[in-house]
Amino acid sequence: MKARHKRLGFLLAGLVGLGVATWLVLNALDSNLSYFFSPTEVAQNKAPADHVFRLGGLVESGSLQRGREMTVRFVVTDNANKVKVEYTGILPDLFQEGQGVIAQGRLGPDGVFVADEVLAKHDENYMPPEVADALKKGHEEGVAGMQKL
């Protein structure tokens, strides 16, 4: 074998190795990303059905139900649409009806969002920017719908 054929072989092997390493890194990053969706976007089927994502909005007043074995059910709304949420675990101390919340999990086949983690706002003045934007957008859509009537 000539020296330039050996160099070409090493170069091709290096490129294949680099390609495999890049694919592995991108695959790992993709499985760890969780995008934010509002209840309106979930209702419009914009949220992935088979991937973890974050759902944010307000906990609807009167929707909190405590079940067996630390299972809690509640409804998250952006004042335009609602999504039922089910969570098994200990809720944050600041979690309450009428307050902002972000839940991370997956959408079940029955349309119920099964949360692995629930985050509540940390004081009375703060609301995560994603939740504030979703509520504003939901309110604008609700007002536009009322004006059409």
Residue 131's closest CA among 94, 87, 95, 78? 78
Residue 126 annotated in ligand binding: yes
Which of 113, 149, 130 is CA-nearest to residue 37?
Answer: 130
Alpha helices (runs of H) in 33-102, residue ranges in sequence order? 39-43
**DSSP secondary-structure letter at 55?**
E
Nearest Cα to 58, choosing from 90, 88, 92, 103? Answer: 103
Residue pair 70/80 in contact (Cβ under 8 Å)? The answer is no
User: Residue ranges for the binding site?
Assistant: 122, 126
**Which residues are documented as binding site for heme?**
122, 126
